Amino acid sequence: MGETMTKEVGIKKRLFLQQFMIITLTVAMLEGVFFVSIYQYYYKNTEEIITSYAKNAANFATRFMDLSPFNLQYSMPKMIQEFKMSQAEMQIVSPSGEVLMSSSGFSPHGTIDQLELVKATLETPSTWVGENPDTGERILAAAVPLEFEDEPTIYFRFVISLEKIDEFVKRLIIIALCIGVGIVTIVLILSYAIAKRITTPLTHITNAAKQFSNGNFDMNIEENYIGELGTLAKSFNEMSHSLQQHETMKNRFISSVSHELRTPLTSIKGWSETLLSGNLQDKQETETGLRIITNETDRLIKMVEELLDFSRLNNETMKIEKMDFNFHELVDEVVKQFDKQLKKKQVHILVDVSDEVSLHADRNRIKQLLINLIDNALNYSGEDSVIEIKGYIQNQSFIGEINDNGCGIKEEDLKNIHKPFYKANENTTGTGLGLAICQQIINLHNGQLIIKSEVGVGTKAAFMLPV
């Protein structure tokens, strides 16, 4: 039981970890795509807006403002007034990095990094992200040069705070992470339930298999599982039913063969002892004893031959040797073998077979088939009854029939009479292998065996062989 639980937990854990990895990676990829989209939408859009505004302001000022170094000081207030940007600070910066004027009215401490200014052109303003040295807040700045006689005279620098954007993006990221964790948690709970649902039937099947190994074939498991598990459970139950049938067949075989062997052996032993201890000069008693011993010996030989035939057929080692023969002659030969039994029971046989019907089959096996079918008909027929044997060609097939008007076979028995060691009436003699052997013989000839019966009316045993 401990080993079963270990395997069951192992499968469940493996399924759970696989699903956990797949789900986590999927959610992580979606979160990554979301974060990149947020960055592109808010930060890149803000950068494009501010650089575009700086570029347009510089182009307009270059065309319509006096950028002469001599008049620049008087033009800067007008530039600030004309080109300032709402929600952003506009600075006018000298080429050396000194902030000459600001729309906020306050000049920041220190100077602007000249590297930021040198990279800027009228067509491609430079951008910079960092901290404001005065307030410590994150800012985004875009700088663009204004030229006079092809030399930068001043720079327009627009500075916008990123604090609100950072705060908003952080909130979105936290919400997205919470949603992602929630999705992973919910899906993992469902995954655990699914993994449990998958492993539960496997546990049941494993437990059932252990019961089978102990010889208990009565266990059935539920079949209403999803997909392949339902198919597996159904197949397992079918296997259980088949094993149970084999077990029943084995027990029936042991019981039947033991009983059938004991009777003739007891009779043989009894008469042997009687003859040895009796008067051998009593001719009538000696003949009776020897006759019984001979009959019982023949009965034993027949049972052993049936068992050997069944063993060969079951192991697929029996081979058929086909030849051309006359079916009517074979029927006459078989009927003569039953002459004493027919007279004893006062049963009549009617043969309706054309002299011209010729078969290409294994003569000995077809003879064995006829003997078994006629013997069954004789056993289930009463006194003064009739057994009819027919043989004819129909639709490129040969059809042989053995019809009797005996007691018939019950419907529930009719379904099982082809099974080895099955006997509709346990009181009858024989091992119950006759019809099973007949079925195998017909199968080897690629034919078909059909048994129809009605209680109180009779039985029809028909076999069909390809011509």
- Predicted pLDDT at 13: 75
Beta carbons within 8 Å of 273's beta carbon, 6+ residues apart = none
- Predicted pLDDT at 290: 82
Over residues 89-103, the mean pLDDT reads 88
300 and 357 housed in the same domain: no
308 and 332 housed in the same domain: no
- DSSP label of 63: H
Name the domain boundary from 314, 336, 354.
314
What's the half-sphere exposure (Cβ side, CA atoms, 13 Å) at 153? 19
Helix H or strand E encompassing 453: strand 448-454
Q: Which of 114-118, 389-393, 414-418 has the lowest mean pLDDT?
A: 414-418
- Examine residue 13 and state whether it is found in any structural domain, yes or no: yes
- Predicted pLDDT at 316: 62
Name the domain boundary from 139, 167, 195.
167
84 and 131 housed in the same domain: yes
| CA separation for the pair 202, 199 (Å, rounded) | 5
Query: Is residue 52's pLDDT more than 60?
Result: yes
pLDDT tens digits, 10-39? 676 777 777 778 888 888 898 888 888 888
Name the domain boundary from 148, 167, 186.
167
| CA separation for the pair 114, 394 (Å, rounded) | 110
306 and 355 housed in the same domain: no
Cα 413 vs. chain centroid, distance in angstroms? 36
pLDDT tens digits, 262-275? 767 777 777 787 77
pLDDT tens digits, 283-340? 777 778 788 888 778 777 777 776 666 666 665 666 778 899 999 999 998 888 888 8
For residue 453, the cross-strand partners are 459
310 and 328 housed in the same domain: no
364 and 457 housed in the same domain: yes
Query: Is residue 8's pLDDT more than 70?
Result: no
| CA separation for the pair 96, 111 (Å, rounded) | 8
Output the six-digit token pair for 85: 């940007």
- Examine residue 221 and state whether it is found in any structural domain, yes or no: no
- Examine residue 152 and state whether it is found in any structural domain, yes or no: yes
Query: Is residue 142's pLDDT more than 90?
Result: yes
Q: Range of 260's domain?
A: 227-314
Output the six-digit token pair for 229: 């598990």
- Examine residue 222 and state whether it is found in any structural domain, yes or no: no
Identify whether the C-beta of residue 152 lies closer than 8 Å to the C-beta of residue 130: no
161 and 291 housed in the same domain: no
347 and 449 housed in the same domain: yes
Residue-wise DSSP of 193-253: HHHHHHHHHHHHHHHHHHHHHTT----------SHHHHHHHHHHHHHHHHHHHHHHHHHHH
Q: Work out how many domains the chain is built from and give that number.
A: 3
CATH of the domain at 14: 3.30.450.20
- Examine residue 187 and state whether it is found in any structural domain, yes or no: no
* Nearest alpha carbon to residue 249 among 31, 28, 389, 436: 436
- Predicted pLDDT at 200: 74
- DSSP label of 375: H
Confidence of residue 425 (pLDDT cuts 50, 70, 90): low
28 and 134 housed in the same domain: yes
- Examine residue 199 and state whether it is found in any structural domain, yes or no: no
115 and 7 housed in the same domain: yes
341 and 435 housed in the same domain: yes
CATH of the domain at 292: 1.10.287.130
304 and 366 housed in the same domain: no
- Predicted pLDDT at 107: 65
- Examine residue 57 and state whether it is found in any structural domain, yes or no: yes
